[in-house]
Amino acid sequence: MRITFACLLMGLLLAGTVSAKEPEIVKDTFSVIHSRKSVRSFTGASVSKEDLDKIIRAGMAAPSAVNKQPWSFVVVTDKKVIDTLAAGLSTARGIEKAGAVIIVCTDPEKAHMESKDFAIIDASLASENILLATEALGLGGHWTASYPYEDKMKHVRTVLGIPAKIIPLNVILLGVPTGEDKPKDKYQKDKIHWGKW
């Protein structure tokens, strides 16, 4: 009888702990989403391998059509290689002080076969997870375009030895933010069509 009561009490305590934590988790998720911004001003400090692994793990947690997970990731921290990449990426603003870059790659042959577009859609979702995880760790980053520019994709493939059939979707610049970049308020009521367009 005593054991049963103790079990019940423990169950209630555990249940209390779980429900007490839920609002905190929800608030934290929204604050990360709304504080994310494209960071182009970096201090020049490096990003740890542990943080990079956490960030990519978040990328891999993204949804994908038929759970095909057609993505793969190239992580570069070597300054010389980053500089070589920068030479062919005219819009990679702030890359000279980035601590690392992640190239989100996608394989159309591994994506849901009903459309090649799924390769891009899935890798884009992984990329957003990467950007959110970066923000959550107090780091900054932004998506620099590679796809759909043939010249940029060719350059990225050549520098990093990426096979021709793989699409290097983007080059995500990562680093320690100076604090200069701020989130934008993009909420526009008139973009919501309640019930019917």
Q: Name the site residues for ligand FMN (rule: CB under 6 A).
A: 37-38, 40, 91, 93, 142-145, 184
Residue with smaller CB distance to ligand FMN, 34 or 112 = 34
Q: Please name which of 82, 103, 101 lies closest in space to residue 168, comparing C-alpha atoms.
A: 103
Dihedral-angle region of residue 66 (phi above 0 means left; psi in -120 to 50 means alpha; beta otherwise): left
Give min distance, CB of 91 to ligand FMN, in A: 3
Give min distance, CB of 108 to ligand FMN, in A: 17
Residue with smaller CB distance to ligand FMN, 57 or 93 = 93
Residue with smaller CB distance to ligand FMN, 48 or 121 = 121
Residue with smaller CB distance to ligand FMN, 58 or 123 = 123
Dihedral-angle region of residue 39 (phi above 0 means left; psi in -120 to 50 means alpha; beta otherwise): beta
Q: Please name which of 132, 140, 150 lies closest in space to residue 98, comparing C-alpha atoms.
A: 140
List the beta bridge partners of residue 105.
72, 168
